[in-house]
Amino acid sequence: MGRAWAEWLKPDRNFKTYEVLRQTKTDLQIIENAYTRPSVNSGAGIAKGAGKVCLVAGITLTFVDIYGAPLGERGRRVAGNVGGTVGALAVGYAGGKLGAAGGTAVAPGPGTLIGAGIGFIGGSIIGGIAGDKAGENYYDAIVGQ
């Protein structure tokens, strides 16, 4: 997702190699030019803050879910939550990569960001549901229920 944001906010056509920049600018001018796109920094800051909020909310809801389960079901609930987290991360990552590739093919720039977002969110949902079920099934198989 971070790469897709960066590509959307600062497309490749705006990048010049150091050698090309050095032909017309000094090192100081090159460094100062890096601060001219505040949207990149603000977008990264917003994404970083949102990620922390989502992480804390997810951990809190997981503990509430486990604590709210009956005593005999807590192990099964832990296995389901672990499986859901692993599944959401793995399939979400793969979905984001596929979505970014598809979005780039359709519409370079904004398409990459939109494709990565849709792929990541869709993959995370599917992976979370499948991982949750798989975790509970593994727990049942191990415990013998």
- Going by C-alpha positions, the residue among 85, 89, 128 that lies closest to residue 1 is 89
Q: Quick one: DSSP state of residue 35?
A: G
| pLDDT higher at 83 or 102 | 83
Question: pLDDT above 90 covers what percent of the chain?
Answer: 29
Q: Is the pLDDT of residue 58 over 70?
A: yes
Q: Per-residue pLDDT for 36 more than 60?
A: no
Residue 126: is its pLDDT beyond 70?
yes
Residue 46 has a pLDDT of: 83
For residues 71 and 121, the answer to whether their CB atoms sit within 8 Å is: no
**How many residues appear in the chain?**
145
* Contacts of residue 76, Cβ cutoff 8 Å, sequence gap at least 6: 69, 136, 139, 140, 143, 145
* Least confident among 8-22, 60-74, 84-98: 8-22
Confidence at residue 114, expressed as pLDDT on a 0 to 100 scale: 84
Name the residue ranges covered by the structural domains of the chain: 2-143
Q: What is the dihedral of CA 111, 113, 119, 125, to 10 degrees?
A: -140
